A = this chain, B = another copy of it.
Amino acid sequence: MAKAIVLVMDGVGDLPDAKGYTPLSAALKPNMDRLAEEGSTGLFSSIGRGIVPGSDTSHLNILGYEYERYYPGRGPLEALGAKFPLKDGDIAFRANLATVDNGKIWDRRAGRITTEEARVFAKYVQKMPLGNGVEAIFQPTVEHRGILVLRGKNLSPSITPTDPHASSVPLPKSLPLDPKDKAAKRTAESLNKFTKMCMQKLEKARENRERKRPVNAIIARGAGTYSQIEPMFQRFGVRGACIAGGALYRGVAAYVGMDIIEVKGATGTFETDLKAKGKAALQALWSHDFVFVHVKATDSFSHDGKFDEKKNFIAKVDKELMPTLLRGNCHIIITGDHSSPVKRRAHSGDPAPLLIWGPDVRRDQSRKFDEFACGEGSLGNVRGTELFHIMLNLIEKQKMCGT
């Protein structure tokens, strides 16, 4: 039976440097180049032409769920990725343990606190009643990161964040986006009460006595309401598995009803165990129609402006992950969720290269997997959820439209 592996190299697309090279076009990657030669190539814009995709919206589209309709905000997706047991109506935030000094944000990461340290501080604030039937639940995840959930009736995510995504600025109060929106007002007040109570409790923590940058606040952003959506098997008739180190990607996959495969050593970093991920993908193929495999370091190196490191990581994926995936004897799709040009140190709206390979895929003239060769490919410019539908057709799981 036809199956597929969808490999997303986060932010793999790039813009040419002074010599005309991108990290992908400069990388040694004989496996990917062979697949490009034997299959079809094109360019992929996960949201739309020229649009700069976020990590959450792009992955919703890649997995077939139109972000315009299904995007719940970052909070719920991060929470699901951290296996937080969300309930319908919960307002979830991505939260940071932070250092505040004199009402100003000194360090949004509290001196890059470790995961173990964070757990100790979290105990002071993990569950707090905020009055009005609203409860706050905080769950630390990795390092300074965590999930904050406000649970209660009639809450709304239409509020401003308390994490300004900048340092040396005053710690903001949350406000309703519309002052007449009672639910939002109530939610903002609850969040502000949470902020205040946290500061009171953390201030007394004896673990702060020896820290240069005390962990004395929790700041929150990405508010979103969680509600269950029609899962993938019901909507599209396929079972998908997700192999990803990063919590957000796992969260998106869990949200759309995919199975999250645990892989020891899958860290979402350069050191991620690519061989272990490949083996897990092969195994997951047995019980699923397709397996989504995500590697993150391509994007991380772009954010740090590291051309050679990005190039070397792509070569590593080709050498350590691709041979295993090829043993799956199935269709393979390789692309990025977006481009992340090294010189911009940020996501961009340039399309990502795309290749589709398999036993009966139409072969086109392109012979390499990079931004330039794929620009000549027969797939042309693929947009939004189209790629997911192309994948469904590839594995013969697409339902007929009409009769």
Binding site for B on A (CB under 8 A): 15-16, 20, 40, 43, 47-58, 67, 71, 74, 222, 341, 343-344, 347-350, 360-365, 371-372, 375-382, 386-394, 396, 398-403
Contacts and interface: CB of A to CB of B under 8 A. Distances in A.
A67 B378 CA distance: 26
B74 A403 contact: yes
Number of copies: 2
A55 B382 CA distance: 24
B378 A55 contact: no
B363 A222 contact: no
Nearest to A60: B402
Contacts of A55: 402-403
Given A348-B393, A380-B380, A393-B348, A362 B15 contact: yes
A389 B222 contact: no
B16 A50 contact: no
Given A50-B387, A54-B400, 10 more contacts: A16-B363, A48-B389, A49-B389, A50-B392, A50-B393, A54-B402, A344-B396, A349-B392, A349-B393, A375-B377
Chain B CB count within 10 A is highest, among A390, A392, A394, for A390
B50 A386 contact: yes
Contact of A393 (B350, B390, B399): B350
A51 B372 CA distance: 27
Contacts of A402: 47, 53-58, 67, 71, 74
A360 B16 contact: yes
Contacts of A51: 389, 393, 398, 401
A389 B47 CA distance: 11
Nearest to A67: B402
A378 B378 contact: no
A134 B101 CA distance: 64
A344 B2 CA distance: 11
A228 to B, nearest CB: 20
Nearest to A399: B52
Contacts of A20: 363
Contacts of A400: 52-54, 347
A303 to B, nearest CB: 13
Contact of A362 (B47, B347, B350, B393): B350
Given A364-B372, A372-B363, A398 B16 contact: no
A396 to B, nearest CB: 7
Nearest to A222: B403
Contact of A403 (B56, B360, B364): B56
A157 B41 CA distance: 43
Contact of A380 (B16, B361, B363, B381): B381
Contacts of A362: 15-16, 350, 371-372, 375
B375 A360 contact: no
Nearest to A22: B362
